């Protein structure tokens, strides 16, 4: 779908929770990269894959540095996804989205990497290899509650109340101290599948 330019929601006072999604419209969000479709359905943001599209991102118009973010997500078992934090575009507003990404991935039979932090278009996994251990805290086919706390170079992630990641990355904080929140629909190549990922109850407070 076409990029959705919208007036940003009013800034909340420091420490005050604000809704990033009003449950009815995509006001305050703009699509960057890719041609996946983003719609509002039953109080959720629903992203659906499109054949031939690269990774797509629905991004907040507001930029955030230190914050606590909470959201719920449900994803098709065959689709990889993620939520960008402190992210930016290379070469202007229409450039490649890049920055830290909190991984969203079904656990499958052997566990997976949901909740770890990946450097989208900026170096690959930020979570150290020795800590990148598959787990099953992500519940396949169900809603999963994420909590992300980004403070300085520290990024902490919980899924369903379990701490998954406790990362400190000084270099990435230097290059990405502040940026947008982005909801990813991962590219699936030339496959003609309509796999979806849904988000709801997206709330953020600045720290």
Q: Residue 70: name the closest of 207, 160, 204 by CA.
A: 204
| Tens-place pLDDT, residues 144-201 | 999 999 999 999 999 999 999 999 999 999 999 999 999 999 999 999 999 999 999 9
pLDDT value for 78: 96
pLDDT value for 101: 98
Distance CA 80, CA 186 (A): 6
pLDDT value for 15: 85
pLDDT value for 93: 76
CATH number at 82 reads 2.60.120.560
Q: Is 17 exposed, middle or buried (0-12, 13-18, 19+ CB in 10 A)?
A: exposed
Residue 12 has pLDDT above 90, yes or no: no
| Within a domain: 5 | no
| Within a domain: 95 | yes
pLDDT value for 13: 59
Q: How many domains does the chain have?
A: 1
pTM for this model (two decimals)? 0.91
Partners of 117 in the β-ladder:
102
Partners of 38 in the β-ladder:
47
Q: Is 129 exposed, middle or buried (0-12, 13-18, 19+ CB in 10 A)?
A: exposed
| Within a domain: 113 | yes
Owning domain of residue 24: 20-206
């Amino acid at each position: 779908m076409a990029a959705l330019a919208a007036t940003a929601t009013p800034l909340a006072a420091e420490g005050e929770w604000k809704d990033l999604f009003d449950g009815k419209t995509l006001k305050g969000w703009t699509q960057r990269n890719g041609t996946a479709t983003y719609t509002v359905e039953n109080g959720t943001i629903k992203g659906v894959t499109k054949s031939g599209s690269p990774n797509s991102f629905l991004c907040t118009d507001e930029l955030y540095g230190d914050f606590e973010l909470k959201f719920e997500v449900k994803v098709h078992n065959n689709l990889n996804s993620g939520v960008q934090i402190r992210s930016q575009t290379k070469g202007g507003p229409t450039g490649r989205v890049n920055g830290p990404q909190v991984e969203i991935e079904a656990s499958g039979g052997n566990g997976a990497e949901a909740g770890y932090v990946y450097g989208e278009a900026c170096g690959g996994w930020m979570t150290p290899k020795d800590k990148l251990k598959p787990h099953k805290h992500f519940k396949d086919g169900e809603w999963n509650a994420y909590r992300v706390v980004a403070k300085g170079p520290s990024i902490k992630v919980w899924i369903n109340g379990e701490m998954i990641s406790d990362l400190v990355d000084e270099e990435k904080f230097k290059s990405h101290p502040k940026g947008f929140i982005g909801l990813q629909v991962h590219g699936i190549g030339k496959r003609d599948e309509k796999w979806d990922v849904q988000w709801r109850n997206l709330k953020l407070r600045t720290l």
